[in-house]
Structure 1
Amino acid sequence: MPEVSAPYRPGTPCWVDLMVPDQQAALDFYRDLFGWQGEAGPPEAGGYAVCSMRGKPVAGIMTAMTPDGKIPDPPLPSVWTTYLATDDVDATQSAVTKSGGTVTMPPADVLALGRMAVVADPSGAVFGLWQARDFQGAAVVNEPGAVVWNELNTSDPDAVSGFYSKALGIKAAPMEGASGYFAFEADGRAVGGMQGLGNIEGLPPGTPSHWLTYFAVDDTDSTVDALIRAGGSVLKPPFDMIAGRMAVVQDPQGSTFAVIKASPPASG
């Protein structure tokens, strides 16, 4: 369902945001690539921009700052962060540390919108936690220009599968027809994916564990062409796989993400 109105179940990816040195350049780039609308927010929100489609939130973009609100020199790396829903950020943070994870940013209130934290799993993959109040998360998903999948690429699938089960209640199950690939399930429903770094062809040596955001597109090849013209780069050119035709790319500031035109559901 492209539009989301009900609260996200705990453990489900509910939001993504981008941290970049040049917020306006990123807003312009993703507006042209995906058709997003958005502008820098008020100072009390750190200038955070909520990007939208049809007036509904799809992703956030913010200027990369240190915890004290300063822009560092040299700048921090550009990165997309996946946020997993939780009913209680503080309790989940405690479960994260008890299960072998670490805390990058402790729980904090975000105005009246919700409460968040940033943590890392035992393999070092960083992700966010979001406890919704006035803001549930992405209200448009699974359609061109919006998030369609979130995937953990990890150095230790066995260790982290237990971690996510204990800390967030999502269980990893082998995905049919995809060797070495697992689906994270919340209440029996696939909400994300996981694979070992060794399962990925052409991955540069030393690539750390990470969560990868997939955006749906109408045409993978033409989207990649547009990205290149706008100054982006291609890490893995368009290729066909079980879920559709995808590519792994970077925006002009070096943030990595994937684009995919999903295959239609099998008939019969």
Structure 2
Amino acid sequence: MSSFGQISLMLFRLTLFSLKLIKNNMERLKGKIAIVTGAAQGMGESHARTFIAEGAKVVLTDLNEERGKAIADELGENAIFIKQDVTKVEDWKKVVAEAEATFGHVNVLVNNAGILGPIKTITEISEAEYLKVIEINQNAVFYGMKYTIPSMQKAGIGSIVNISSVAGIVAIPGYPSLAYMGSKFAVRGLTKAAAVEYGKENIRANSVHPGYIKTPMMVEATDEDGSGAADAILLARMADAVEVSNLVIFLASDESSFLTGTEQVIDGGMSIQ
């Protein structure tokens, strides 16, 4: 074969390889069965939509039944919605059972549901306000892992992605309370404990620590246009929810198969200043 023929053949093979990569990258979550909590708005909705786009089957959960069901219906046959209070053990049992009955054993859990809570100091926040934040942001992560890991064990593989916050990495003055920061630091520790306990069973656990993201919850903590938040970020802007979803996809996929027990900070450089 002439040199020109050899080059042509090489280019043809490279083209085929590139097309295969593009096809595979459009199905990065093919074969994944995921539960995504807090999926009726904000980051949770973004995670659910991008998971479907990447080939996963997704169980969306939230208290907002109307909005959650509408999103699931829009996403099609690979998505279902289940109304869930993440602080209720019986709800978790129901979600896992319905996920298995509909799609099969769960192999991805995204513990996304959370609240900001009141913006108050230690002496200002009430015991009830404090405990509500802890129950939703911290205890629900424990419940989610406790009742989903058995399904992952049956599947023989699993990836747990716990959504924490940059406030689970560094203490941020006035943002928004010790309840929020304490709960998000706890998520970081819970994640590492899960990674240690279940790594030998091919179940990974990683935490994600977003900074300021353009979501309804962030409107509670910042001015409406986000300019105040942008002043604290090296990249001088708030992130779009899909930018966090891209990281969550990576952690849920086999691309991160040797990654566990880590904290993935996605804050535009906010926490290094």
TM range, smaller chain: under 0.3
TM (norm. structure 1) is 0.28
TM (norm. structure 2) is 0.27
Structure number, greater radius of gyration: 2
Flag the structure with higher strand content: 1
